[in-house]
Amino acid sequence: MYLRTIIFSLSEEKEKKGSSSKKDTEGMLVLTCSSKLASLRRLLTHSFPESLKVCGALHHVIEKNPFRLQVLVDQWPDFTSVICRPPLEEMTDPSDPYTNTYFLFSKDPQGLRQFLQDPETVNWKQELQIQGCQPALTGVLHEVSSKHGSQMHTTSNLLYMRDRMESEDLENMSNISDLQFSTLKPEEAYLVNEVWAFGGNLLGERYISHCIQSFPNVCARKLGVGKPVAWTMSEQSAEMRMGYTEKQYRNQGLFRTMIVQLANKLHSMGCPLYCHVAPDNKTSQAATLRAGFPLAGRWQQWKFQPL
């Protein structure tokens, strides 16, 4: 009995040591310790809005992590760059940018080069996308990817965020008599996919279905019909995305109401509150501002394809 106790104690001690972090290479560290992940999240909140994407992803990693994301830093505790992404061995489809998604934040664009060039950090041999809120990283990303024969396409949208939700935010919201609010069903992913600017394909529909099952969303349905006529969702970086309203229900405050409802759900979970809108979408920009989300910067998506 005594010997068995010693063996268990040694095993538990080894597990604790192994859970704090995993050094894969000289240029990359995988954080797995819950206390270190919590510390990192606290530190990232001091770098809003630039760190929003990584901080939002980190929130879901600490909670249930339905997308099985890993948290990579260039060093610890004095990190300068952070990436959240799925394990490389799970990004098996080289043509699937929805799975092959990286969320990036860096305090040192120059030092970021080495971090990105590590093959254990980014797999440049497959189609992928990197999201963040730092337009200044574009040059470094282009330089590094070009060394691997990758072609880069950059999308830059307007970034909106707010610090918290207040009780009065849920007051004076639109109440359209023939609509009721609920949540989307996984089998309704095709409706979102048909109108989402970044979707329109089977891989996108599968991704949307996964998001519906894993994260908060809000939709509006016709009474007695069931089909949603408007919706807004959140995803693995806790961002509110994919908002849409059918034409006959636009300009009635419905979109603003859904944003507030979804933001309230995310706020109750401790998530950062943010979203992006295309520069030419003036209607959604106005609705986002009316929902209490001021302009905070730029939202970036860098999409790469091997040449």
Q: What tens digit of pLDDT does each residue of 22-69 get?
A: 654 456 899 999 999 999 999 999 999 999 999 999 999 999 999 999
pLDDT for residue 14 is more than 50: no
- Cα angle vertex 161, ends 158, 165, to 5°? 150
DSSP H/E element including 48: none
pLDDT of residue 172: 67
Task: Work out the pLDDT band at 87, boundaries 50, 70, 90.
Answer: very high
**Cα(233)–Cα(219) distance, rounded to whole angstroms?**
8
* First-to-final CA distance of the chain: 62
Q: How would you write 262-280 as a 3-class SS string?
A: HHHHHHHHCCCEEEEECCC
Whole-number percent of the chain with pLDDT over 90: 82
Across 280-293, b (16+ Cβ under 10 Å) vs e yields eeeebbebbeebbb
Q: How confident is the model at residue 177 (pLDDT cuts 50, 70, 90)?
A: confident
Asked if 284 and 243 touch (Cβ cutoff 8 Å), the reply is: yes
Residue type at 171? Answer: E
DSSP 214: H
pLDDT of residue 10: 34
Amino acid 187: pLDDT: 97
Average of per-residue pLDDT across 232-242: 98
The percent helix, strand, coil of the chain (3-state, each to 5) is 40, 25, 35
- What single-letter DSSP state applies at residue 113? H
Are β-strands 128-132 and 101-106 bridged in parallel, bridged antiparallel, or unpaired? parallel
φ/ψ (deg, to 5) at 208: -60, -40
Q: What is the pLDDT of residue 19?
A: 41
Segments in 147-239 forming alpha helices (H): 189-195, 202-214
Distance CA 49, CA 210 (A): 26
In angstroms, how far is CA 180 from the centroid of its own chain? 28
Cβ pair 249, 179 in contact under 8 A: yes
Beta-carbon contacts of residue 227 (< 8 Å; ≥ 6 apart) = 191, 221
pLDDT of residue 141: 97
Identity of the highest mean pLDDT range in 23-37, 70-84, 219-233: 70-84
- Whether 101 and 85 have beta carbons less than 8 Å apart is answered as yes
How is residue 83 written in tokens?
């990436």
Indicate if the pLDDT at residue 117 is higher than 50. Answer: yes
Looking at residue 112, its amino acid is: L
**How do residues 243-301 score in pLDDT, each as one tens digit?**
999 999 998 989 999 999 999 999 999 999 999 999 999 999 999 999 999 999 999 99
Say if residue 192's pLDDT is above 80: yes
